[in-house]
Chain A
Amino acid sequence: MNILNTPDERGHFGAFGGRYIAETLMPAILELTEAYAKAQQNQEFQDDLQALFTNYVGRPTPLFFARGLTAKIGGAKIYLKREDLAHTGAHKINNTMGQALLAHHMSKTKVIAETGAGQHGVATATAAAYFGMECKVFMGVEDISRQEPNVKRMELLGAEVVPVSSGAGTLKDAMNEAMRYWVGAVEDTFYVIGSVAGPHPYPAMVRDFQRVIGDEAKRQIMEAEGRLPDTLVACVGGGSNAMGLFYSFVGDKDVEMVGVEAAGIGIESGKHSASLGAGEIGVLHGSKSYVLQTRDGQIQEAHSVSAGLDYPGVGPEHALLKEEGRARYVSIKDDEALNAFHTLSRAEGILPALESSHAVAWAMKEAARRPKDDVILVNLSGRGDKDLETVLKHMERKGA
């Protein structure tokens, strides 16, 4: 299969993807599919998006050679794609500006979003403020308590944060509730999904808005090293920052692509978020992919120290990349991610998001085993300021 030709017109990435949604939403999804297809062909839309990326988001973000970290590990060269420097502090803004621009073209004046770590919520609230739209963000109560600074940011940006207490009060539950709300408000409301998940066209559309990460990184690494990297590394919850980095390199067969899932307190404990590593094929939130579930097809709760990875599903295109052997998926435990957070903070003066810390942790382990002229490119998808409370709590616990 030629992965680059996916999805097909019905949104299938091989055996994955599709549109598994209630009939009430189907006409809106078909309308969105058509509007997005038009926008892709519309030069004005593309120019507007490019201008927003340059003047508002702050693109291109730098590709930074992590000299200090590389020296400390003593192996392969580690480069960081600095998505943490994008406006609002994470890659999420690339997608929300794209979708909000599309919503604007479709004359929608209300947007909703789900959020886990709060980064997508903040990015949606930001885009809504920019375009003058009403914004509601659904967020699990557990995530509200562990990502409080982002809750305040969303409120300051004029968004309403709707607490979701069903289930474990995390990202899955927030998405359930956003979909329920959307069923009732579908006639005038645009749903800004934050990952390469959900029904078609979301997985492809979000990937397209995020591919700017890989497009830039490819150009930047050629300038810095005169060649493509040996390995790309990105964390995977739903998988948008990973897909954004990987997509431009899918055709470059010599570039290894590694997605890092959250192993939580250990895969064997069952408390993890490794849908690709330990899940089964199933249908969740509108598409078919790998899902953490029981034998009876009930969705299981995920676990991760990072709210943004705490999700029992994963985007369908990652399922295809795994199935085709084009990318491989590994996992990193909570402790290892926290350790990487501290290491990168000290070595480079960069506080990474706990999500991104998973990618950094795997890159550190791998770099140590690689020759010095190997190049590992890590997507540093977000900044860690939002995670200070979680990190400090873990330090106290460790010290006690």
Chain B
Amino acid sequence: MSCIKDSFEALKAKNEKALVGFVTAGDPDFGKSVEIVKAMCEGGMDVLELGIPFSDPTADGPVIQRSSQRALSSGMSLPKVLEMVKIVRGFTQIPIVLFGYYNPIFAYGGKRFYEDALAVGADGVLIVDLPPEESAELTSLWDGDDFDFIRLVAPTTGQDRMKQIADEASGFIYLVSMTGVTGSQGLNSSKVADVIAPLKAVTDLPVCVGFGISTPDHVKAVAAVSDGVVVGSAFERLIEENLENRGLHSMVKEYTESLKAATKG
């Protein structure tokens, strides 16, 4: 069991929901990316989702596509993402979940990935294009239960399938708030609540909701019906709009604080 479970329990005791922050590792470059993550931690982020950049991110909208491109252009790769996790682990104890597409992990080697990710201090991984039907080829290579494979549930997932997914899940469940790619508009929190109810009926794991969440108001509305909220594209948009801005660190920190404040019941 990773530290993810403990983190959610500690938040629950404080009557808070988790703020999960996503950024692409290495965007816009290795050094700045570490600084951005540091600012998010200072702002009170509870869980870090660190994106492994990929050339063909088919579930991502334009903002995260461009962040991946910037990271790849700066020379980012999976070994360097792991190097970055090690550095981040040096200044924070919050759970770190790697987030990406399967091919870079497949190319790296599934067992080697597990061992190396664990060694640098990562707590789990979410692979967008590795559904339950295919995930055993990766997870069967892992020896322990100390590294969580975070599973996705979508608005299109029926309740029978939710149960199948939940039975194999650990850490938390990532609920996609709407059909569409990351960064889509049109979040509807009452619709999210309609999907969470049947999911909660089949699992005791924390449920974090992502896609389309970018403002403290969004966070407040979704946190009210879930255990955590994921903000990704909004961080990437802030980075993209301030690539040369020396004030980026404090902007990221303040933005994170504003989101975190909205998770406190």
Contacts and interface: CB of A to CB of B under 8 A. Distances in A.
Interface in A149-205: 166-167, 172, 176, 179-180, 183-187
Range class of the B interface residue count: 35 or more
Contact of B180 (A28, A183, A285, A297): A183
Interface string A271-284: 00000000010111
A44 interface: no
B102 A20 contact: yes
B176 interface: yes
Contacts, number: 118
A10 B133 contact: yes
Nearest to B78: A296
Instruction: Name the residue in B77, B104, B133, B158 with the highest tally of chain A Cβ atoms < 10 Å from its Cβ.
Output: B133
A19 B106 contact: no
Contacts of B102: 20, 283
A183 B179 contact: yes
A20 B180 contact: no
A169 B244 CA distance: 28
B155 interface: yes
A331 interface: no
B103 A283 contact: yes
27 contacts: A18-B134, A19-B133, A20-B131, A22-B131, A23-B176, A24-B179, A24-B180, A25-B156, A26-B156, A176-B58, A180-B58, A187-B156, A280-B107, A282-B107, A283-B101, A284-B103, A285-B56, A295-B107, A296-B79, A296-B107, A297-B54, A297-B105, A297-B107, A297-B108, A298-B54, A298-B55, A299-B56
B131 A23 contact: yes
B112 interface: no
Interface string A211-227: 00000000000000000
Given A27-B157, A28-B156, A298-B55, 4 more contacts: A22-B152, A23-B154, A167-B56, A183-B179
B67 to A, nearest CB: 13
Interface of B: 54-61, 65, 72, 77-79, 101-108, 128-131, 133-134, 151-158, 161, 165, 176, 179-181, 184
A300 B130 CA distance: 21
A187 B179 contact: yes
A284 B106 CA distance: 11
Nearest to A178: B58
Interface in A85-134: none
Contacts of B179: 24, 183-187
A164 to B, nearest CB: 12
A166 B130 CA distance: 24
A184 B58 CA distance: 12
The 7 A-B pairs with the shortest beta carbon distances in the complex, nearest first, are: A297-B107, A297-B104, A184-B180, A24-B154, A23-B152, A296-B77, A298-B55
